[in-house]
Amino acid sequence: MTSVPHAQPATAASRITVPAWAWALALLALFGLYLIAQDNGAVLASMGETAHEFFHDARHSLGMPCH
């Protein structure tokens, strides 16, 4: 007698839980990145020009004005 292979039923994918503090930290980091990307030297003063040049091309590609 030949045996026919049977497919095993798929198990439900387990959900990955992310702690609330990790979401808060990610949002805070994104907000900080947004503030730095918008800065043209008014807040960061001496670091303003460096931050501006670092984010310059990315800001233009995202449609943010910087001039």
Look at residue 41 and tell me if it is in a domain.
Answer: yes
Question: What tokens does 67 get?
Answer: 């001039």
Look at residue 8 and tell me if it is in a domain.
Answer: no
Look at residue 4 and tell me if it is in a domain.
Answer: no
Report the half-sphere exposure of 3 (CA within 13 A, side-chain side): 3
Our count of domains for the chain comes to 1
Neighbours of 48 (CB within 10 A): 15
Per-residue pLDDT, 26: 95
- Residue whose entry in the numeric block shows the structure tokens 């310059």: 56
CA distances, 52 to each of 47, 57, 62 (Å): 8, 9, 14
What are the phi and psi torsion angles at 4 (to 5°)? -100, 130
Q: Which of the two residues, 62 and 17, has the higher pLDDT score?
A: 17
3-55 tens-digit pLDDT: 777 767 767 678 889 999 999 999 999 888 777 766 666 666 666 667 667 77
